[in-house]
Amino acid sequence: MENIAQDAQFVAENDANVDVDTIAEIYAVAYTNAVKANNNSIDSAVEEFGEFIDILKSNEKFATILSSAMITADEKIALIEKTISNAASTNFMNFLRVAARRNRLDILKQIYKQTQIILNKQNKRIPVTITSATEIDPELLNTLSIKLAKIIGGEPIVKSVVDPATIGGLIVRVGDTVYDASLMTQLKSIRKQIIERSAHEIQTRRDNFKNE
Do the strands 170-174 and 177-179 form a parallel or antiparallel pair, or are they unpaired? antiparallel
Q: pLDDT band for 96, please (50, 70, 90 cuts).
A: very high
pLDDT digits (tens, 9 = 90+) for 125-158: 888 898 888 888 888 888 888 888 888 888 888 8
**Among 30, 28, 27, 8, CA closest to 18:** 8
Which residues have C-beta within 8 Å of that of residue 9, sequence separation ≥ 6?
Answer: 102
pLDDT for 192 equals 63
**Which of 23-37, 50-64, 96-110, 156-170 has the least mean pLDDT?**
156-170
Q: What angle do CA 11, 96, 67 make, to 5 degrees?
A: 75
- 196 pLDDT more than 90: no
pLDDT for 181 equals 45
pLDDT for 35 equals 94
Higher per-residue confidence, 189 vs 81: 81
pLDDT for 127 equals 86
pLDDT digits (tens, 9 = 90+) for 28-69: 999 999 999 999 999 999 999 999 999 999 999 999 999 999
Partner residues linked to 155 by β-bridges: 125
**Which of 45-54, 106-115, 154-163, 164-173 has the least mean pLDDT?**
164-173
**pTM for the complete prediction?**
0.67
Q: Give the residue-averaged pLDDT of 72-87.
A: 93
Which domains are delineated in the chain?
A: 2-121 (1.10.520.20), 124-211 (3.40.30)
pLDDT for 75 equals 96
Residues 170, 130: Cα–Cα separation, whole Å: 7
**Among 14, 75, 123, CA closest to 23:** 14
Query: How high does pLDDT run on average in the chain?
Result: 82
Q: Give the residue-averaged pLDDT of 161-184.
A: 72
What letters, b where the CB count within 10 A reaches 16 and e where it falls short, cover 61-85?
Answer: eebebbeeeeeeeeebbeebeeebe
Q: What angle do CA 122, 47, 61 make, to 5 degrees?
A: 135
